[in-house]
Amino acid sequence: MDATFFGSASKCRLLNDDLLKESIYTELINSESFSDALRIMDSTPYSVHIQSLSGLYSSYELLEIAANKRMMELVLKVSEAPPANGREAIKSYISRWDIDSIKNIITSKFLGKELKRSDIFVVDRNNYPIGMIGNLLTAEDYSLMINENDIDGIAKYLLKLGYGIYLMKYIDEYRKERDVSVLLYSLDIAYYRRFYESVRFFLGNEEPMRYFIKDEVDMKNLITLIKARELNLDFEAVENGLMDLGNIPMQKLREIYSSGDGEEIVTKCLSAYGVKGVEDRSNISSGESEILMKTEMLRRTLPRFSLQSNSIGTIFNTILRFENERNNLRIIFAGKAYGMQKDKIQRMMVFI
């Protein structure tokens, strides 16, 4: 136990009491209109964010951005003045929202589509959710990137902020093949290497954190295999997108991919990740596989972190719960906005 984490751990335990109960999710899934969903959310801690944003947004986009805002607020609370040996790990983890937003900008530019504000997860100096304070990128950076003429321009702009170094390593391959996935993979590799390095020097409590990072890398690698098989790609076409930071070695990933058809690969990927309790694994899509793996990852990660009294694990236990709550709410609101069936919305959610 590290006594320097006592204050942060105490704050986390209090904030955990504010997490939504499963009954709220059920009510939202069963709501028949935006007005019903708004009434339900008004009875939760999200109401203050909904009120502050109601003049800027409407319908389900209002609820989705309020969910972003609340998660940002909660994460910022638990990451305020953390002990020195936890500060870099929290900062590295938070940078995932920079990465996600950059990916959305690159993808939208590649597809020639306009980007919605709710697709960019950052905040400006007024804590306006257009993200996360403390990251390298500002609202102005995002605005300038969106206005770049092409992906080359975005990569060059990001050079001064660190992320462009990784993009430029693959820019020639992108120009040659016109495959934007190589650029997106490069950002994932940069993120996980930085995150892993950030927890290397903890004082005896780093192992659960490092296992969590490896667990996430395994999940991303296995999902990449499943998606690649759905597209009938050769292993060599996706090999550069696989990260060597996980528990499952690259040779094992190659063996899984070479072992059979799509359904068999899904089964082997789920088994390799330790997913149990799924009797019929035929016709499981990459999206459904990802939900099963995320659920499994949280089920084995959160108990490990919970047992780390007054440590970096206590903080990440709370951050992961906040993030999962925000993701579940976004699934519900997006599902309602697009008229998705209630049972499908529920299947897409991760309950822990």
Confirm if 13 and 317 have CB atoms less than 8 A apart.
no
Q: Would you state the pLDDT for residue 89?
A: 85
- Give tens-digit pLDDT for 289-309: 999 999 999 999 999 888 877
The alpha carbon dihedral of 7, 9, 12, 13 has a sign of: negative
Do 318 and 12 form a contact (C-beta atoms < 8 A)? yes
In three-state secondary structure terms, 234 is: coil
Distance (Å, whole) CA 29 – CA 38: 12
Q: What is the pLDDT of residues 239-285, one digit of tens each?
A: 888 999 999 999 999 999 988 777 788 889 999 999 987 766 667 88
What span, in angstroms and rounded, lies between the C-alpha atoms of 202 and 87?
A: 11
Asked if 38 contacts 63 with a C-beta cutoff of 8 angstroms, the reply is: yes
The maximal CA–CA distance of the chain, rounded, in angstroms, is 55
Q: First-to-last CA distance in the chain? A: 25
Residue 129: predicted pLDDT? 39
Q: What is the pLDDT of residue 275?
A: 92
Residues 6+ apart with CB under 8 A from 178: none
Fold exhibited by the domain 206-307: V-type ATP synthase subunit C fold (1.20.1690)
Residue ranges, the chain, pLDDT below 70? 1-7, 81-85, 116-136, 200-204, 279-282, 310
**CA distances from residue 154 to 104, 109, 181 in whole angstroms, order as listed:** 12, 9, 15
Which residues, at least 6 apart from 142, have a Cβ–Cβ distance to it below 8 Å? 101, 105, 120, 122, 130
